[in-house]
Amino acid sequence: MSRSPGRASALVAAALVGVSLLAACSVSASPNPSASCNGADEQSGPGFYPDLERLLPARVGNRALTDVRSGRYCSARTLGTLLNDGIHELQFAGGALPDPRYKDTGLALIVYRAAGMTLYQLADAQALGAGNTQGAAGVVARRATIAGRSGIRIDVTVQSGPEMLFFWPTSHRGLFEAVTGIGATEAQVEAAVAAFAAAGPALGGGSPGPSSATP
């Protein structure tokens, strides 16, 4: 799977490109989620899918999410192995919690949606994308209990620091929650996971409380 160039300081992890915290781009002049992608790799921007954006926790602790946006991936370049699995469109919404001390580090909270997609298909695509990332020295994926649900954790070793990805299913088929951290601590990731859980059962986040993801 290819990776979009660079990391934006906005830290929106809205891309199915492994471990990047990317500001979504490729916004069409007049985005129309009900129309086809018309050959675009991706379409995204604030309010593209307001229903998905509403599923994101508004805050993690006393900090509000920034750069909240949503969109969809439509091509082999952005879908990666999901296209081989019969997933022709992946919808997402994401918001960021950048670390004010260091550039391009922090957390992002994401919701992914695709009809028929499984947790393992999503995690496999992310793990393969992470492994193909320049500078990645190792990728380890494992099962983990996250917000009271059976999910997957991916740890990526890169020169710039540890990167962690957590994915878990909601109570709605084809809808998944995720937390991505670049240079983040376990406690920070757990706080983000807990924010999903505390958002309520409508989000499928499981019982309130911190993640019990296996280190």
**Contact yes or no for 121/82 (Cβ under 8 A):** yes
Domain that holds residue 113: 42-203
Looking at the domain assignment, is residue 29 inside a domain? no
Looking at the domain assignment, is residue 12 inside a domain? no
pLDDT of residue 179: 92
Is the pLDDT reported for residue 92 higher than 70?
A: yes
Please report, for residues 10, 31, 147, 213, the alpha-carbon distance to residue 48 in angstroms, rounded to integers and kept in the order given.
18, 7, 27, 31
Q: Lowest-pLDDT range, 8-22, 70-84, 121-135, 138-152?
A: 8-22
pLDDT of residue 52: 92
Looking at the domain assignment, is residue 6 inside a domain? no
From CA 24, how far away is CA 16, in angstroms rounded?
A: 11
SS3 label, residue 141:
strand
pTM score, whole prediction: 0.80
Write out the two tokens for 142: 């494992």
Please report, for residues 44, 92, 96, the alpha-carbon distance to residue 47 in angstroms, rounded to integers and kept in the order given.
9, 11, 15
Looking at the domain assignment, is residue 96 inside a domain? yes
What's the per-residue H, E or C state across 24-67?
Answer: CCCCCCCCCCCCCCCCCCEEEECCCCHHHHCCCCCEECCEECEE
Domain of 182, CATH number, reads 3.40.1000
Write out the two tokens for 126: 């992310």
Query: What band does 50 get if pLDDT is binned at 50, 70 and 90?
Result: very high
Count Cβ atoms within 10 A of the Cβ of residue 8 and give its class: 0-12 exposed, 13-18 middle, 19 or more buried. Answer: middle
Is the pLDDT reported for residue 128 higher than 90?
A: no
Looking at the domain assignment, is residue 192 inside a domain? yes
Looking at the domain assignment, is residue 215 inside a domain? no
Domain total in the chain: 1
Residue written as tokens 């499928």?
A: 204
Looking at the domain assignment, is residue 208 inside a domain? no
Is the pLDDT reported for residue 98 higher than 50?
A: yes
Looking at the domain assignment, is residue 108 inside a domain? yes
Residue written as tokens 């969109």?
A: 71
Higher pLDDT, 20 or 155: 155
Query: What band does 134 get if pLDDT is binned at 50, 70 and 90?
Result: low
Is the pLDDT reported for residue 86 higher than 70?
A: yes
- pLDDT tens-digit series, residues 142-187: 899 998 889 999 888 766 667 888 999 998 889 999 998 888 888 9
Q: Residue 84: which residues within 8 A CB-CB, separation 6 or more?
A: none
